[in-house]
Amino acid sequence: MAAPPFHVTDDFAWNLEHFVIPEHYAPDLASVMISHGLIQDRIDRLANDICKAYDFHGSGARLHMLCVLKGGHQFFSDLCNALKKLTLVGVKEPPLTFDFIRVKSYHNTESSGDITIETVGIDLPSLKGRNILLVEDIIDTGATMSKLVPYLQSYEPTSVRVATLLKKRTPKSNGFEADFTGFSIPDKFVVGYCLDYNEVYRDMEHICIMNESGIKRHAK
């Protein structure tokens, strides 16, 4: 069984001064919520949990990982690397294959509720009989996953599970729970580690909380 998520408390904040923060982003940030190092440590543990859940070293189900772009790309990449290291020996069948799927729903800091799914390059009928693991950066309202999971199930995979780095504790949640969750976080808008605000901040290592000036400056 996967361990429970790391619970980031409501008032948790690290001072920006303790970290290397890009000069052009620092004035728009309130604090660091999750450091890059802690993200990596947590991913190592999630990779262990995933190895056990799919019994790679036993009966060995092959996993088809679906990266949810764009935000999930860094988590996907680090999770794949961690899984590759854990499956170097003692695994008979190739354990991992992957594809990319693109989903859009956000405008400024609000979910638009209007979700578009782009599956360019995926041979959807070939998902039949596969074990799919969706890899997502954040589950906020749950609207994206509640649309994506049934969409993929319609192609008759053997299983669809979800790994998310972050799960927001928000009253707007529709109750969707992932199978593997890195961190449970308070209801604040976060950026960094490929999470964006109107496409900005993806290229920052740590996951940070924005301040009001940042939200205004990059609003659309």
Catalytically active residues are: 140
200: which residues sit within 8 A by CB, 6+ positions away? 191, 218
How many whole angstroms from its chain centre is CA 219? 23
Q: Which stretch binds ligand HPA (CB under 6 A): 24-32, 94-102, 188-196, 211-219?
A: 188-196
Judged by CB under 6 A, the chain residues 88 through 127 that form the site for ligand HPA are: 106
Angle at which helix 36-53 crosses helix 73-86, to 10 degrees, equals 60
Q: What is the rounded distance in angstroms from the CA atom of residue 55 to the CA atom of residue 75?
A: 22
Q: Which stretch binds Mg ion (CB under 5 A): 11-19, 102-110, 118-126, 176-184?
A: 102-110
Strand, helix or coil for residue 139? strand
Q: What is the rounded distance in angstroms from the CA atom of residue 64 to the CA atom of residue 33?
A: 31
One-letter amino acid identity for 159? S
User: Which option in Mg ion, ligand HPA, none does residue 95 bind, with CB closer than 5 to 8 A by kind?
Assistant: none
Q: What is the rounded distance in angstroms from the CA atom of residue 180 to the CA atom of residue 135?
A: 9
- Tell me whether residue 131 or residue 173 sits nearer to Mg ion (CB atom): 173
Q: Which residue is nearest to ligand HPA (CB)?
A: 140
Q: What is the rounded distance in angstroms from the CA atom of residue 80 to the CA atom of residue 73?
A: 10
In this chain, which of 47, 195, 204, 208 binds ligand HPA, going by CB under 6 A? 195
CB of 106 to Mg ion, least distance (A): 5
- Tell me whether residue 12 or residue 106 sits nearer to ligand HPA (CB atom): 106
One-letter amino acid identity for 158? T
Site for Mg ion contains 71 (CB under 5 A): yes
User: Which option in ligand HPA, Mg ion, none does residue 189 bind, with CB closer than 5 to 8 A by kind?
Assistant: ligand HPA
Site for ligand HPA contains 189 (CB under 6 A): yes
- Tell me whether residue 6 or residue 106 sits nearer to Mg ion (CB atom): 106
The angle at the Cα of 120, spanning 116 to 121, to the nearest 5 degrees, equals 155
* Site residues for Mg ion per CB under 5 A: 71, 106, 196
* Site residues for ligand HPA per CB under 6 A: 106, 138, 140, 189-191, 195-196
